[in-house]
Chain A
Amino acid sequence: MSPRRVLRIARWEAGRNVGTIDRRTAILLACTLLVIALVTPALVLSAPTPGEGVYRVAVDDANPYHAPVAATDRLSAVPPGANAVERGRADVAVVGTSGFVVADSAKGRAALATLRSATEAYNDRLMATEDDVAAAFPVTVDVSYVERGTRVSGSGGGTASDAGDGTGTATDNGGTTADDDTTADSGATTGDGTGTTTAAGSAASAGTAAPRVSGDASAPANTPGGLTPPFPLESLLLAFVFVLPLNVVIQSYGSSVLDERIDRRGEPLLVSPATRADIVAGKTLPYLAAAALVTVPIAYAVGAGVASVLAVFLLAGLFLAVTFLGALFARSYKELTFVTVTVTVVLMAYAFVPAVFTEVHPIAAISPLSVVVRDIRGDPFQLGGFLLATVPVATAALVCYGLGLGVYREEDLFTQKRLPAKALDALAAPLTSVRRVGLLTVALVPFVLIAELFAVAALFVVPPDIAVPLVLALVAIIEEVAKSVHVYAGFRNARFARSTRTALALGLASGVGFFLGEKLLLLTRLVGLSDLTVGGAAFGNAALGAGSLALLAAPLVLHVVTASVSALGARRSARGYAIALAGAILLHLGYNYTVVTTVG
């Protein structure tokens, strides 16, 4: 590859694009970028919280409850007045220092629960400022003697065992992460909390403690208002801001690649001393630079670090790589639109759906955006999570470019074959020997990983009884297709003799290649993804081969046998391949089921 030619082509590509954008489009693009530039810092500063001020509390400024209300996002203070609740101006009205009027509705009850937890959190914060911690947080222990073997109910809702080991089942606060303003009732309070605690709270700076709110303190706090959203909305919005401008970039990139193919415009470039790699790199560079120009300033604006920028940059690389491949396969701008929309939707879903569960669930680690979210929230950097989020994405992007380069030549670039036929041509192009079949299988493993991670992400919310069989089936389909589709492409494009011996050799190469390549799936262990029920179903096979020498041969034999079955069908015809592939999938499914049910 000649850097000088790459840069020359890149300069030409950038110049052409700038020259072809009309004034109206340029203004529209500038406005979009301006809006993003203005909205992003505003989002960071405002830190939007869903449900902010959703519960109205009628409380006087001088009332001790006013401070907890003012300090809580979900509560908003409204002026007290006659019949504030009855008139619908408030959900809860504070009467004096101990009385409450609550609207007779679910929202009213939720408002009261929120006020209660807000008050306790407020009081705890005040207490924390006291020098005498023991006085501020006195520990009360009730001791009662019981005979061994007698089960008694614990006061905190848990059950004490006869051994008295204290293992109760703590009431989970909505199953969410601990939130600053959410206090789990530790059981330290006595009774139902109806008393009007007048804790000292004399710290001048902290103000006066609010009395406890009457009501059932042990009632679960997972009311709508009490629920913290399970995802970091503001961080996700910011992450979205990263990816949104990428759509403009990939649309432009896809059009440019297709433009080379329309009327054979790219033919003279292929005759020039520039190599295919020079041409592709030169044409891609401006768009990669545009992606960097979009992501880096935003990253710095929102306080994200190098890891975030790198993660999003690699995601942008995958967007571009898949668009490149799609633009090589599309026969028209209409098909290109279909391709780019599909690319956008699938990759956005892959990036965003798991990232919603950042800090909640290990599934989030598969998305590069989870790195951004964690970074913005100030969480410590995790190498395992970073690798899982970026390695499959980066390698998949490289493989896409590799496959694309294989068909970036006259006889493939300008033909008007259907999209699947072109995809098969791309897969067949690098197959010049049996060994290359194995290597291509290894190269396809990142796509397998992405597809399986996506399947796990889509199904982890489904009950395990349904999700596990579905995941097992999907994994079998994905892996068997990945092991055989290029073998079929090789036979179809006359790369290999259609003999049984050749088919078996290709099956062996592909099976071994997959066995070695699937060790990439061990990345899932770094973040505990394989510990999930559905994660174990999807990735248990890779771990099995790595963890147990005795069982090492089992997945190897499976992959070689099923790949050989598919190859034997592929050497005959498309129909033969389809039938053999179905058989291989069933074999794989049976194996997976056996592993899950016996090995666990």
Chain B
Amino acid sequence: MPAARTNVLSVSSLHKTYGDVEAVRGIDFEVADGEVFGLVGPNGAGKTTTLKTLAGLLEPTSGEVVVNGYDAGDPEMRRTLGFLPEESPLYEDMTPRSYLRFFADLYDVDRETADERIAAALDRLDLDARDRPVGDFSKGMKRKVAIARSLVNDPDVLVYDEPASGLDPTTTNVVIEFTRDLAARGKTIVFSAHDLHHVESVCDRVAIVSEGTVAAKGTLDEIQAEHGRVEYRVFTDVEIPGAERLDADRGDGVRYRMRVDSMAAVEDVRERATEAGGNVVDIRTRESTLEDVFLAVTGGRA
């Protein structure tokens, strides 16, 4: 990430408790201007609580959240932010057009500009039914209306909680592509997702949240370097202690496999195979995926 970018969003020592339950236990991260930042973690890790605090919906028990220079509780901050909650809560008797106009009005957007933005957002989201009650819509269509609502004030910062959750593959692709499009237009985006593939494909940086804390943070490469590992699979034609015999005979004799995690160990296997009168016939490497890292960091909870 370019060093010249300034942080538009920062979370410092964020704590949030609900009664006796400590949902967030000291989360820290910053997001730079134009960056796409992903929050991933198992259910109940504190992602949604963190995002709602960013949006000013929840008051931190302690810690500081600053967005665009405003404290997250400042109503002025809300003018610069678009929030998409996990569900798509809409007034079902309203049409998309009237619903979006209403919210644009609350953000002091004049009617002409509002109509332009509404039309542009719904066009890009491929939603044609603009004058039918939202109650008649499918879940995907409602999601599109909710996304359009998050854009009526043309915010600098977007906070999206599971934007593609529960959608069919086609709609999911539309939403993910739209998010990429927003990122390309320079919007700063913080979003959470369960589907790690989406995170990998959209985010510049990621924080893995587990049990209310950030367990890992950085670019995907940085996280993989820090928390991931490279696995070496060494295949021999002779049995050595600790090797796994492969049942499948591919016509070139019996094979044995050793899994090791360093080149030094590979060299050790080679020496032992030679001593046993055989050879190393193949070496393969496998890098950890984000999912592997996620499972490793979170202890396998999802």
A interface residues, Cβ below 8 angstroms from B: 5, 8-9, 12, 16, 19-20, 263-275, 409-411, 493-494
How long is the Cα–Cα vector from A16 to B91 in the complex, in angstroms? 9
Show 9 residue pairs from A and B whose CB-CB distance is below 8 angstroms, ordered by the A residue: A16-B91, A264-B89, A268-B146, A270-B57, A271-B57, A273-B75, A275-B75, A409-B57, A493-B19
Chain B nearest CB from A262 CB (Å) reads 9
> Are B89 and A5 in touch, CB under 8 angstroms?
no
> Are A411 and B18 in touch, CB under 8 angstroms?
yes
Instruction: Mark the stretch among B102-110, B176-184, B233-241 that contacts chain A.
Output: B102-110
A263 touches which of B79, B89, B102, B107 (Cβ 8 Å): B89
Chain B nearest CB from A366 CB (Å) reads 40
Apart from A267-B85, A274-B106, A410-B57, what 14 extra A-B contacts exist at CB < 8 Å?
Answer: A16-B93, A16-B94, A20-B93, A264-B85, A265-B89, A268-B83, A268-B103, A273-B78, A273-B79, A274-B75, A409-B59, A410-B58, A493-B19, A494-B19
> Are A267 and B57 in touch, CB under 8 angstroms?
yes
- Does B52 interact with chain A (Cβ within 8 Å)? yes
> Are B89 and A266 in touch, CB under 8 angstroms?
yes
Residue of B at shortest CB range from A276?
A: B75
B138-176 toward A: CB 8 Å interface, digit per residue (1/0)?
000000001001000000000000000000000000000
Chain A nearest CB from B228 CB (Å) reads 36
How long is the Cα–Cα vector from A8 to B75 in the complex, in angstroms? 17
Residue of A at shortest CB range from B133?
A: A19
How long is the Cα–Cα vector from A444 to B93 in the complex, in angstroms? 39
Residue of B at shortest CB range from A5?
A: B106
Residue of A at shortest CB range from B106?
A: A272
B80-112 toward A: CB 8 Å interface, digit per residue (1/0)?
010101010111011000000011011110000
**Dominant secondary structure at the B interface:** loop
Residue of B at shortest CB range from A410?
A: B57
Chain B residues positioned under 8 Å from A5 (CB to CB): 106
Chain A nearest CB from B87 CB (Å) reads 6
Chain B residues positioned under 8 Å from A269 (CB to CB): 106
> Are B56 and A271 in touch, CB under 8 angstroms?
yes
Chain A residues positioned under 8 Å from B271 (CB to CB): none
Chain B nearest CB from A416 CB (Å) reads 13
Chain A residues positioned under 8 Å from B108 (CB to CB): 273
**Number of chain B residues whose Cβ lies closer than 8 Å to a Cβ of chain A:** 29
How long is the Cα–Cα vector from A494 to B107 in the complex, in angstroms? 36
Chain B residues positioned under 8 Å from A266 (CB to CB): 89
How long is the Cα–Cα vector from A411 to B56 in the complex, in angstroms? 12
Residue of A at shortest CB range from B20?
A: A494
Chain A nearest CB from B212 CB (Å) reads 16
Chain A residues positioned under 8 Å from B85 (CB to CB): 264, 267-268
Chain A nearest CB from B35 CB (Å) reads 21
List the 7 closest A-B pairs by CB distance, nearest first. Answer: A410-B57, A265-B89, A264-B89, A272-B106, A271-B83, A273-B78, A20-B93
Chain A residues positioned under 8 Å from B280 (CB to CB): none
Chain A residues positioned under 8 Å from B146 (CB to CB): 268
Q: A12-B102, A264-B85 are in contact. Are A272 and B93 (CB under 8 A)?
A: no
Chain A residues positioned under 8 Å from B107 (CB to CB): 272-273
> Are A268 and B57 in touch, CB under 8 angstroms?
no
B39-56 toward A: CB 8 Å interface, digit per residue (1/0)?
000000000000010011
Chain B residues positioned under 8 Å from A494 (CB to CB): 19
How long is the Cα–Cα vector from A304 to B56 in the complex, in angstroms? 49
Looking at B102, B105, B106, the one whose CB has the most chain A CB atoms below 10 A away is B106
Chain B nearest CB from A428 CB (Å) reads 11
Chain B nearest CB from A131 CB (Å) reads 76
How long is the Cα–Cα vector from A274 to B102 in the complex, in angstroms? 12
- Does B267 interact with chain A (Cβ within 8 Å)? no
How long is the Cα–Cα vector from A263 to B94 in the complex, in angstroms? 16
How long is the Cα–Cα vector from A8 to B108 in the complex, in angstroms? 11
Mark out the residues of chain B between 209 and 266 whose CB falls within 8 Å of any chain A CB in the assembled complex: none
> Are B57 and A264 in touch, CB under 8 angstroms?
no
Q: A270-B57, A411-B58 are in contact. Are A263 and B78 (CB under 8 A)?
A: no
> Are A271 and B76 in touch, CB under 8 angstroms?
no
Chain A nearest CB from B170 CB (Å) reads 24
Chain A nearest CB from B24 CB (Å) reads 13
> Are A8 and B105 in touch, CB under 8 angstroms?
yes
Chain B residues positioned under 8 Å from A273 (CB to CB): 75-76, 78-79, 106-108
> Are B102 and A410 in touch, CB under 8 angstroms?
no
How long is the Cα–Cα vector from A12 to B55 in the complex, in angstroms? 24
Chain B residues positioned under 8 Å from A272 (CB to CB): 78, 103, 106-107
Chain B nearest CB from A494 CB (Å) reads 7
Chain A nearest CB from B140 CB (Å) reads 17
Chain A nearest CB from B92 CB (Å) reads 8
Chain A residues positioned under 8 Å from B79 (CB to CB): 273
How long is the Cα–Cα vector from A274 to B149 in the complex, in angstroms? 15
Residue of B at shortest CB range from A12?
A: B102
Residue of B at shortest CB range from A265?
A: B89
How long is the Cα–Cα vector from A267 to B55 in the complex, in angstroms? 11
Chain A residues positioned under 8 Å from B83 (CB to CB): 268, 271
Looking at B19, B81, B83, B102, the one whose CB has the most chain A CB atoms below 10 A away is B102
Chain B nearest CB from A25 CB (Å) reads 14
> Are B90 and A265 in touch, CB under 8 angstroms?
yes
Chain B residues positioned under 8 Å from A267 (CB to CB): 57, 85, 89
Chain B residues positioned under 8 Å from A9 (CB to CB): 106
Chain A nearest CB from B70 CB (Å) reads 11
Chain B residues positioned under 8 Å from A275 (CB to CB): 75
> Are A268 and B149 in touch, CB under 8 angstroms?
yes
How long is the Cα–Cα vector from A274 to B146 in the complex, in angstroms? 18
How long is the Cα–Cα vector from A9 to B102 in the complex, in angstroms? 8
Mark out the residues of chain B between 15 and 50 whose CB falls within 8 Å of any chain A CB in the assembled complex: 18-19
How long is the Cα–Cα vector from A9 to B19 in the complex, in angstroms? 32
Chain B nearest CB from A389 CB (Å) reads 38
Chain A residues positioned under 8 Å from B56 (CB to CB): 271
How long is the Cα–Cα vector from A211 to B75 in the complex, in angstroms? 84
How long is the Cα–Cα vector from A255 to B102 in the complex, in angstroms? 21
How long is the Cα–Cα vector from A377 to B89 in the complex, in angstroms? 52
How long is the Cα–Cα vector from A265 to B149 in the complex, in angstroms? 13
How long is the Cα–Cα vector from A272 to B85 in the complex, in angstroms? 13
A8 touches which of B78, B93, B106 (Cβ 8 Å): B106
Chain A residues positioned under 8 Å from B93 (CB to CB): 16, 19-20
